[in-house]
Amino acid sequence: MGKKHSPLFLQRVEHSRSIINECDIDEFSSMLGDNDSLIVIDVRETHEYESGHMEHALHISKGVLERDIEKHPIGTSDRIVLYCGGGFRSAIAAQSLKEMGYENVYSLWGGWRAILATEIKKSSL
């Protein structure tokens, strides 16, 4: 069951979702299985990441994403999928990266909860 979010936060998320690329769990699963390069970034807080995450997912919390993304070998044209707990924070984070010039960024709708509910599980990367 998802969290109850405040109206202004939900408005912000919906705005971000309207202007970013978003994928659902089936599309994400297909991306994991194709031969194209894919960078997966977990944008949740450290305690969330430490309690469980996709194997090989890069951890850059949403709060430091803009500051720290360039510390990693990630190009602005690389295909990137961001995930959080349910797809709300990752949508906002995807908008931010898009505004920074990253051209191929997706937010995973359903986030970690969707990953856990599928066959993808933690070791798919």
pLDDT tens for each residue of 62-120 = 999 999 999 999 999 999 999 999 999 999 999 999 999 999 999 999 999 999 999 77
Cβ distance 107 to 40 under 8 Å?
A: no
What is the distance between the alpha carbons of residues 18 and 13, in angstroms, rounded to a whole number? Answer: 9
- Is residue 1 assigned to a domain? no
Radius of gyration of the chain (CA): 13
pLDDT in tens, 29-59: 999 999 999 999 999 999 999 999 999 999 9
Phi, psi at 107, each rounded to 5°: -105, 135
- Is residue 6 assigned to a domain? no
CATH number at residue 81: 3.40.250.10
Q: How many CA atoms lie within 13 A of 118 on its CB side?
A: 18
Reduced to 3 states (helix: H, G, I; strand: E, B; else coil), residue 93 is helix
Contact partners, residue 94, CB within 8 Å, separation at least 6: 16, 20, 21, 22, 82, 105, 106, 107
- Is residue 85 assigned to a domain? yes
Residues labelled as active-site residues = 84
- Is residue 10 assigned to a domain? no
Number of separate domains in the chain = 1
Domain range for 35 is 15-116
